[in-house]
A and B are shown apart, each in its own frame.
Chain A
Amino acid sequence: DSGVTQTPKHLITATGQRVTLRCSPRSGDLSVYWYQQSLDQGLQFLIQYYNGEERAKGNILERFSAQQFPDLHSELNLSSLELGDSALYFCASSVSSGGAYEQYFGPGTRLTVT
């Protein structure tokens, strides 16, 4: 157990819908990262937040957005869902914002868009 929690574990929804994925970092970690894992794209970085502020952005679609709240939990919002958005979404946390710190992954949310 990494100490990072994610809910829900599974999500099945239809095209065009909107969903929210939730992540709570390890105790003491200020940075939260979101990654998408699909069979054809591998593990892709989406976005990073540090202590409530956006710090780095990857190839995140405009239909996707995220935020980090004062209690440091983070939410990833996916809207106008398409079949291709079906994937495993992981959040990870680390103690700091720089890139040279260990990142610990949560159990992931499996999103299926039908």
Chain B
Amino acid sequence: GENVEQHPSTLSVQEGDSAVIKCTYSDSASNYFPWYKQELGKRPQLIIDIRSNVGEKKDQRIAVTLNKTAKHFSLHITETQPEDSAVYFCAASGNRAGGTSYGKLTFGQGTILTVHP
């Protein structure tokens, strides 16, 4: 089945710096790649996503890039703020019926991001 690897497991930055989190996936049938932010004890919250027909997507301080050939995608957060501190999860999913990634999100292991004031 699909396997998603996420790095780093922890990331510590100063306020105003940029943060980058990287993920790789194994199933070439995967074509949807969301990113979730989870604060302690709360639900995962969708912050941005990208589909395989797009190489890059940006929403204010957050951007995601996708390299289908290399099967990796990354989350970029610019001008980090203390309220960005949370656990970030990447995920992969596919919409090909019968494929191993169909109908479910396979998550990476998570990155604990700490932004120091």
Point out residues on A near B: beta carbons under 8 Å.
2, 31, 33, 35, 42-45, 48, 50, 55-56, 58, 90, 92, 97-108
Contacts and interface: CB of A to CB of B under 8 A. Distances in A.
B94 A42 contact: no
Given A48-B103, A56-B102, A97-B103, A102 B49 contact: yes
B49 A98 contact: no
A90 B105 contact: no
A100 B43 contact: no
B2 to A, nearest CB: 10
Q: Chain A CB within 10 Å — which of B31, B89, B93, B105 has the most?
A: B105
A87 B117 CA distance: 32
Interface in B43-94: 43-46, 49, 51, 89, 93-94
B114 interface: no
Contacts of B95: 98-101
Given A42-B107, A43-B107, A45-B106, A106 B93 contact: no
B101 interface: yes
A45 B105 contact: yes
Interface string B24-52: 00000011101010000011111001010
Nearest to A108: B43
B46 A100 contact: no
Contact of A55 (B42, B43, B103, B109): B103
Contact of B103 (A56, A106, A108): A56
A100 B105 contact: no
B102 A99 contact: yes
A61 to B, nearest CB: 16
21 contacts: A31-B103, A33-B105, A35-B105, A42-B108, A43-B44, A44-B107, A45-B106, A50-B103, A58-B104, A90-B44, A98-B95, A98-B102, A99-B32, A99-B102, A99-B104, A99-B105, A100-B95, A104-B46, A105-B43, A106-B43, A107-B42
